[in-house]
Structures are given as structure tokens and as C-alpha cells.
Structure 1
Amino acid sequence: MTQQGVRWTADQVLALAPDAASRKAGSKLGAAGPWSGTGSSDDGAMWGLCKGSGSKPYQTVVDVADLSGPAYTCSCPSRKFPCKHALGLLLLWAGDPGAVPRADTPDWAEGWITRRRERTKGRGKGEEAAGSSGAGEGAADPEAARRRAERRAERITAGATELEQRLTDLLRDGLAGAEQAGYALWEETAARMVDAQAPGLAARARELGALPASGPGWPVRLLEECALLHLLDQGWLRRERLPDAMAATVRSRVGLPASADGPPVRDRWLVLAQYDTADARLTTRRIWLCGAESERTALLLSYGAAGRAPELALPVGLTLDAEVSSYPGAVRQRVALGEQFAPPTWMETRPPGVTTSRAVVRYGEALGDDPWLESVPVTLDRVVPVPDGDSWQLADADEDSALPLAPAARNRPGLWRLVALAGGRPVTVFGECGHRGFTPLTAWPDGPGPAVTLC
């Protein structure tokens, strides 16, 4: 990245931190005091020795030109990724180029850098070879694979049929019964769907159990979610009659795994946003990309075990010259990252935007292809954040329309960063537009300036 003369900012470095504690600890190590033996190479690698509590300093290496995004290693015992030492080294490099001078790579750093880059370059070929191997195994016993698929489909059908009966019972007895029954009924239903190998149905059943305690208006929300779940059940039970794209969407929503089967699309993909969501079992990282030539918005998903950040990290503003392939489904929003043709670079560009009214139309059109879609990615052009009673909305500067912010977005610190960035003037905002409102994720000022992350 330094070849283009663009150095990371502190905000871009801290966006990589897995949590607030790591940001704070890494910031303390962003000065020269604890570091020795620092150095960097012309191709984007840097290293250093950081004094810790032990007798030996920690050996830290960061590769910002790795083809799959920034990569890190450290001899410290931390299980966080990146650790505070990697963050500190990046902050030192970002703040003072002279603190991490050009130097010959030490052996302890060069070995890791070489292995990492060889592994990354060979990943596409390795996955292709693995796919060929898997195909060979399947070809050796296609009948066994067919029987396994049929058995799972039968279990999911049995689960969907049972779930339909429970929804019928709920509506026959009245929604008030759901409040009295509490969460246990739906947790037991979700467990039955897990046994039926339908994790998508299980997740939606758990959501039903939480709605009676979600505050005023819960009966309406419960009825809406019951209708969507009924639609998914019926979609599965009648999947043979559906168009291929919709059938693929139903299989995905039920929870059947799929592989990215779309043709590779090469573009310069700008990273628009990155954020994590977590539950007791899994941390999910969502990375939104926009193609500079295709203007297509695509979603990368990366996963980590509970309590650990996913490995893939692509800060906002990074641009990848790479291919992506779509997963099956009617919307084909999610993609897999394929071959990358050059190290990532920084570009102070922004995606083309639309009006607030067009954003709502775009979500409505997407629902026709995927009725269970929570939101669609949208870039709003020339909007102003304004208060709306106890809430906020994004008012269009060029037409008489506005989008309310989603409830979850109203309590985030990012809202105040957005308000401060706008200062009453129009800004460009990327986010997710859905039935709960608009969730802003990244914003650009009116005029030249870098992106500001809001999540």
C-alpha cells in the first residue's frame, strides 16, 4: 500500500481491533518507547520487538500487502486477533514513517511472511484442487451421497410439517397464549428443528419466543414473523414447483449449505463497511464491497468461534483487484472472494448514491425475489441527519422524502459521528435499508475527504 504513497490513518488501524479493550491497549503501544528492532519492506511488511512483562520481547509481524487483507502474527500469548502489539506496530507505522524504517527482513519475520504469501497465492488453486478431490470422492459413491441428501430432506420436511402444526395451534388458541407460554415453548420447538437439520427454521422459531417480551406492539410483530415462517415452510414443502432461483433461496433460508457457483466477476472492489455480530456460538463478520466498474454491491461473510474475531479483516477504504463468485439464490447478494491479482490499495472514492425514495423502492423490489430479506445495501446521496421527535431520520436534500433510522442505530455512537460529520450539510451515507428503517454504516463528507465508519 505504501507503493502508492497512501499511508493508513489511526482510525483505519483501530478499526481492525477486535474489541474496545484491544483498541485502548493498542493505542498505548503506538509510540516508540516499548519498541526495538522495527523495520519495514518495500512490499508492505513490517516487524518489531515489543517489550512486555517477560524477559524476552514479543516478536510482532504485520503484512499490509497480503492478498487476502492485513495479516498478523505475534509471539505473545493473546488469543485476540489482531493482538495489541500488532495494533501498536501499525499505529507506530501510521503515525511516524521514520519509526519503522526500511530495513533487511530478519529471519524470524521473513519465514512467516514468505509462508503466508505462498499460502494466500495458492489458496485459489488449492480450493479448486480440493473441489476436484471432493468431486472424485462423490463420483466414487454418488448413490451414497444421494441417499444422504434424501434423508436430510425427509427430516427437514418432517420438521417443517411439525412447525406448521405449531403455528396453526398458536393462531387457533390466540396470540395471547404466546405471552403466557413464555420462551420455553419456542426454545423446545427450535430444538426440534435442529434435530430436523433445519438450522434456519430453528433460528426463526427462537425469534418467535422473544417477541412477546419485546414491548408494545408485539402481537403485530409476532403475527408478521409467523406469516414469514409459514411462507418459508410452504416454500420448502412445495419447492419442486418453485423457479430455480427461488428454490435456491428457500434452501438457503432453511439452512442447507451451498457453494458459490456463480461465474467469477473481476472488478476493483471497494470496501464499504465491516462489522461483527455475535451470539453464544459464533462471531459473524459482514464486509460490504462495491465494484468500481460494475457498481454492484456484494457481501462477504467471515466466521470465528465464539469470543474470537474472524480472520478476514478488510478496513473501509481498501480496494481489492479481485474476482468474486455469487452464492445461489434469487438475490445473489452474498459472494465468495476468489483470485486476487494485486496487493490491496487505498482509494479515497465513494460509491454512486441514490435518493431516499429510490432506496425504499430498491428494498421492495428485492423482497419480490427474497421475502425473508431483512435489508438491502444502499448508498444514499445528499442526505442530512435531522431529529424526528425522539428518533432521527435522513432527510433527502433534493426531494421531499426521508428515511427513519432503524431503532438499533439510534443508540450507537456512530449516530453522533454522522451528525458531527454532516454539521447540517448533505453527506453521502452507505448502510442497510430494511423494514425497521435505515442503519448507517459509513459516511463521506460533502466534498473531498476520507470515509468515516459509523459501526
Structure 2
Amino acid sequence: MTQQGVRWTADQVLALAPDAASREAAGRLATAGPWSEVGSTDGGTVWGVCRGGGGGLYRTVVDVADASGPACTCGCPSLRYPCKHALGLLLLWTGGDGAVPEGEPPAWAERWLTGRREDAEAAAGAETAETGAAETGAAGAEAARAEAAGAEVVAGTAGDASGSVSRTRDPVAARRRAERRAERITAGATELEQRLADLLRGGLAEAEQTGYAWWEETAARMVDAQAPGLASRVRELGSTASSGPDWPVRLLEECALLHLLDQGWLRRDRLPQDLAATVRTRVGLSATADGPAVRDQWLILAQYDSVDARLTTRRVWLYGTETGRTALLLSYGAAGRAPELTLPVGLSLDAELSTYPGGGRRRAALGKRFAPPAPVEIRPKGVTPSQALARYGRALRDDPWLESVPVTLEQVVPVPDGDSWQLADASGGTALPLTPAFGNRAGLWRLVALSGGVPVQVFGECGHRGFTPLTAWSAGPGQAVSLT
């Protein structure tokens, strides 16, 4: 929200949900029946008391105007954030039919809001104190004493708006640790090359007979070599074998890409700087966002989660309305828990981003936020399907292991293509097939209903498997519709 009195849409609220079950449960709570003591302020605070199925009363407060992003509290025992009660209350509020009247928050809601303001002021004060210490040299003196003792210290960073801290380590010890890890990764990559050679020498039919245990054991060896990126790709190879029609072709392709990554690591000193940084990231080495901070009005294009047995990964795509840049924010949560970073699709965020090294520099870190998410009428610039494919081809030169690139398609129509669907250029040019996974999702029908045979604008990811739509806009004025 940038202006008072502007409410979110239901799609923007549901984009905050940590999972499909929460979205479904929130929909059942988006009526006045279970709620009492509801109200809101024109500044963006909503509150209410929900009666649970067991008769319990849950006081719920949501602050959508906070510069750091939407925040909420609820008396329910749910571990999901935001919970179904917070989402249901927001959905009730978005209706704008008088179900949530404006007024002054009750004492129990005001206490939570006051506590949030006090915490924010305390954090700002701590940041100012840290900055002052750094400027007077106190932090530097402490770092020097720790370095002499070979210890690690925490020093405040003057330019970090989040109030976080950075760790200053003994540079000599840090370099030695990095060298030892590089040696272990090199040994692991060398071993993996030998294993791939043995596999191909015996023929791909042998991969079908060995089963998944061989791949898992190889992945474990890569974990021991401190190369989690290699381990992840090996596990993907294990799931490719005997996975359906043409699996030998797909397995051979993935083996070739893994071989290329191995060779890239073993010859990283000969690679261009950005490509070498990409290889380091792909094998699993962490990096810092070293690009300069860029402030812009970032349109929140899409947000979706991918889950495996170990981790929940949240991807948020942003588009700079002034710079025209597209950036990716990644956040993580333990298996079964949603990451904390939540940004509503269709709004814009006045903030600074810093990019990570690597080809294309798409991934970024979110820095200082200057205002809460707000409505915006701007849409990203679009291209034709043929131009989208060309963009993916160019991106592969910088990162041969890239699965897809973000792209906005202009004036396309979803049309059936046998048992699947594609996005066809309305001018009669080329078409992009939709990825098989998207064909089974409810988002497909939302896209078809939004279009109704009329050209629409669609943002998504374009790669070798096809196009995955994430967000769409109708031909005329209207809010972004999330398809995830």
C-alpha cells in the first residue's frame, strides 16, 4: 500500500499463503460468520476474533503497511506463517463490502502494534549505536584484537539497514579453509568423472539395473567432498533412470551437463570471471551479493515454493520499473516450513537490491526497504515467443546449466495442443509449449479463463522443457493474476 484506503486483491492475499492447504482453509474463513470484533484502519491494520472449530477464540491482527513486509499475530497454535486465520481475515477485508469496518484498534490489538513499534525503534537504535562504534574505530579495534588472538568476532555493519551483523575472520585462516575445501571438491569431481566414465563404458542399460542405491551412494561421496551442488545433480540423475519414455536420451543429456560442470571446476582458472563464478555456485560454494545496491520500484512478479525432503525453497521474481532489470530473491525454510520472506504478487516494493556473482547476475539480495509494498499500474515489457527462445539461448552461453530464464510474453493466447497446451503468438508467429507439470495445475484454467480467447500478457520461466506461466494480466486494465 502506498496510499490510504487502497485494499489488496484476493490474489495478492493468497500469494502470502505458505501452501495450498492454507489457501483452501483461508477461503472457508473469508466470511463474516466465524468472526467478531473485526475492524481496520486506513493505514493498513486489520484485526478480528475468530471462533475455531473446537470453540476456541483466536485473536488475529495483521499489519500490511509495514515497510519490512506484511506481519501478523494470532492466538492459534498453527506453525504456518501466516496462518489460515490471518489469511481469512485479509480475504474478508479485501471484499470491501463493509464486513470489516474502519475504526480504532482494541486494546489487545494496540498492544501488539505498540510492541512492534518499540521493537523497530530498538532495532534502529542498536543499528545507530553499531554505526557509531564503527565510525569511532571501536569495532575495528575489537576486530584487530580478535585477529591477533586468531578468533572470530561480530562487528556492526554501518550500511546494513536490516540491523544484521557481519563476521570478521582471520583472513589467513579463512583462506586456508577455502583452499582445503577446494581440494576436497577437486577430489570429488575427479572421482565423479571416473564414475561417469565407468557408467557410460558399461552402457546406459546398466544404469537401469543398478537401481537408485548406486546414485545415492555417489551423491553421498559428493557430500563428503563438500560439493552439495554435485550431489544434488547426481540425485537428479538417479531419478531420471527408468523414469519413462526416452529416459536414456535424457540421462545421457544430464550426464553430459554434469561432465561439463566437473570439467569447468577442474579448469576454473582458465574460465572467464563470470563463468568461473557460475561454476563455483553450481558445485555448491556460497557467494555474497557483491554487486552495487540498486534502488528501484520493484514490481513483485511472482512467488512460488518448491519442496523436497530437506528444504523448502521460495523464489520471488522482481522487475525494476525504472531499470528494466529482472531479479530473483531466494529464501529457504526447513522441510515442511515456509520461508519467512513473503511479498504479495502484483504490488511494487521501493527497495535496494544487490546482485550475486555469476552469469547474468539474476539472483539478488534484498537490502533496505523504504516503504511497504504498494499498488502500481506498470507492467513489465513483453516479447514474442521466438524472442523468448532466443533470450534463453543467449543466457546458456553464460550459464550452460541454466534450466530457464524469466520472460514476459506479450499478446499470447493459450490454446490446446493435443493432450497439452501452448501459448501462441496472437500475430500468427511461433508458439511456446507449456511445461508438462503446469498442465496439471489449476493455474492453467485460471489462465484460460482470464484469456477467454483474447490475447493476454504472461510472465513465467522459459527453458528447454517449455514455458511455465507464473503471473498473467488481461488485455485491458486490471490487477496481476497469480497462477501458482
TM range (shorter): over 0.9
Deviations 1:149-196 (A, max 9, x none): 111111111100000000111111111111111111111000000111
**Quick check: 1:77 aligned with 2:70?**
no
Report what 1:111 is aligned to: 114
Structure 2 CA distance for partners of 1:259 and 1:119, relative to 1, 3 Å: farther
Determine helix, strand or coil for the equivalent of 2:39: strand
Report what 1:137 is aligned to: 168
Determine helix, strand or coil for the equivalent of 1:37: strand
In structure 2, what is the Cα distance between the partners aligned to 1:123 and 1:396? 54
* Unmatched 5+ stretches in structure 2: 135-154, 159-163
In structure 2, what is the Cα distance between the partners aligned to 1:419 and 1:33? 33
Deviation at 1:144, TM superposition (A): 1.4
In structure 2, what is the Cα distance between the partners aligned to 1:333 and 1:434? 15
* Deviates most, 203-212 or 122-131: 122-131
In structure 2, what is the Cα distance between the partners aligned to 1:377 and 1:79? 32
Report what 1:422 is aligned to: 451
Deviations 1:107-142 (A, max 9, x none): 43223431564478689988995558976631xx22
Determine helix, strand or coil for the equivalent of 1:213: coil
Confirm or deny: 8 A CA contact 1:66 1:117 kept in the other structure.
no
Deviation at 1:421, TM superposition (A): 1.4
1:56-455 paired onto structure 2 within 5 Å: 57-95=57-95, 96-97=97-98, 99-104=100-105, 106=107, 107-115=110-118, 117-118=120-121, 130=156, 137-138=168-169, 141-455=170-484
Confirm or deny: 8 A CA contact 1:68 1:120 kept in the other structure.
no
In structure 1, what is the Cα distance between the partners aligned to 2:430 and 2:375? 34
Determine helix, strand or coil for the equivalent of 2:469: strand
* Deviates most, 427-436 or 63-72: 63-72
In structure 1, what is the Cα distance between the partners aligned to 2:125 and 2:469? 36
Letter of the 2:34 counterpart: P
In structure 1, what is the Cα distance between the partners aligned to 2:406 and 2:249? 26
Aligned residues: 453
Q: TM-score, normalised by structure 1?
A: 0.94
Structure 2 CA distance for partners of 1:5 and 1:101, relative to 1, 3 Å: closer
Letter of the 1:305 counterpart: A
Determine helix, strand or coil for the equivalent of 1:153: helix
Structure 2 CA distance for partners of 1:452 and 1:143, relative to 1, 3 Å: same
Letter of the 2:305 counterpart: D
Report what 2:37 is aligned to: 37
Report what 1:7 is aligned to: 7
* Deviates most, 3-12 or 223-232: 3-12
* Unmatched 5+ stretches in structure 1: none
Deviation at 1:18, TM superposition (A): 2.1
Q: TM-score, normalised by structure 2?
A: 0.88
Deviation at 1:54, TM superposition (A): 7.0
Deviation at 1:361, TM superposition (A): 0.5
Letter of the 1:326 counterpart: T
Letter of the 2:198 counterpart: D
